[in-house]
Amino acid sequence: MQPTDTDGTLAERLLQIAHDLPRQRLTRITHDGQSYFVKTPEHHASLRWRMQKGDPEAAFARESALLRGFAARGARVARIVAADDRHMVLADHGPPLQQMVARGQADAGLMQRLGAALAELHAPGLAHGRPSLRDICWNGTHMTFLDLEAGAKLQATAPDQARDLFLLLHSVFVIDGSASPLAEPLLSAYRDAGDPAVWHALSIRSRRVWWLEALTRPLAWAHRIRGKKRSEFAALRATRRLVART
């Protein structure tokens, strides 16, 4: 595959730098004062991981194709500055929201922007597949979605998009606690901007996972007793409660 970029010379130089790096899944680099991220296929150390996650080269090629497909539909996803068969050089789109929330740098206004941004991503019929605060960046102007891997779809249904919304809400509660004031403005902004069919599908999804909440309730209690601040099990209950009352 030939390098791709609006500036071929820059693409070639960035790929040269990428080829000289030690093999890692994601590496941050700086060139001419600009920050970029170099992404390569995952390396599965065991047959078990390869069987569970599949062919890493095929997954890498799929993500590259999805990023281009989403971008062609107007979605704000990570911009590929240069790429070949084993490297993607991606633009730096600002800090991840997970970092901002954990540091207390996020407020209701930012979460409203996030809800509207997810609705905008969904509008052309797309689904991210596994959105979380760590997969979304904020540069002070725009939200950018990263990591289009398993579950991302170019032809999404309302249930696919409801799954996106549910998982994103869950990630907020995981990072900010089950009493987080940030999830509700996110949900309200999505409701105002999104498709009503997704809202209906979200309610159905939330009700259908009652058994998972019941199954993990002892684990949520154990986390609470141990004083664990980030509990994906407690976050599940908090997510379902929020959806039920809105």
pLDDT tens for 109-121 read: 999 999 999 999 9
Single residue among 40, 61, 91 that ends a domain in this structure = 91
Structure token digits, residue 8:
């071929």
Same structural domain, 60 and 128: no
What CATH number should be reported for the domain holding residue 130? 1.10.510.10
In a domain, 55, yes or no: yes
In a domain, 3, yes or no: no
In a domain, 1, yes or no: no
pLDDT number for residue 234: 93
Same structural domain, 28 and 76: yes
Is residue 224 over pLDDT 70?
yes
Same structural domain, 149 and 68: no
Per the structure, the complete domain to which residue 114 belongs is given by 97-245
| Distance, CA of 96 to CA of 82 (rounded, Å) | 22
Q: Which of 32-36, 47-51, 92-96 has the lowest mean pLDDT?
A: 47-51
Averaged pLDDT, 37-43: 90
Structurally, the chain folds into a number of domains equal to 2
Q: How many CA atoms lie within 13 A of 103 on its CB side?
A: 7
Same structural domain, 123 and 160: yes
Averaged pLDDT, 137-164: 95
DSSP string, the chain: -----SSHHHHHHHHHHHHTS---SEEEEEETTEEEEEE------SHHHHHHH--HHHHHHHHHHHHHHHHHTT--B--EEEE-SS-EEEE----BHHHHHHTT---HHHHHHHHHHHHHHHTTT-B-SS--GGGEEE-SS-EEE----TT-BSS--HHHHHHHHHHHHHHHHHHH-TT-SSHHHHHHHHHHHS-HHHHHHHHHHHHHTHHHHHHHHHHHHHHHHHT-S--HHHHHHHHHHHHHH-
Same structural domain, 26 and 111: no
Confidence band (pLDDT; 50, 70, 90) for 2?
A: very low
In a domain, 191, yes or no: yes
Same structural domain, 71 and 115: no
206 close to 166: Cβ distance less than 8 angstroms: yes
Same structural domain, 194 and 229: yes
Task: Tell me the sheet residues that pair with 24.
Answer: none
Determine phi and psi for 229, rounding to 5 degrees: -80, -30
Same structural domain, 204 and 126: yes
Is residue 103 over pLDDT 50?
yes
- Picking from 162, 173, 152, the residue whose alpha carbon sits closest to that of residue 209 is 162
Single residue among 91, 121, 144 that ends a domain in this structure = 91
Is residue 50 over pLDDT 90?
no
Single residue among 91, 108, 127 that ends a domain in this structure = 91
In a domain, 108, yes or no: yes
Is residue 106 over pLDDT 70?
yes
Structure-model confidence comparison of residues 189 and 47, the more confident one:
189
Name the average pLDDT for the chain.
91
Same structural domain, 87 and 102: no
179 close to 235: Cβ distance less than 8 angstroms: no
In a domain, 2, yes or no: no
pLDDT number for residue 48: 55
What is the per-residue pLDDT across 167-216, written as a single tens digit (0 to 9) for each?
999 999 999 998 899 999 999 999 999 999 999 999 999 999 999 999 99
What is the per-residue pLDDT across 13-32, written as a single tens digit (0 to 9) for each?
999 999 999 988 899 999 99
Structure-model confidence comparison of residues 2 and 143, the more confident one:
143
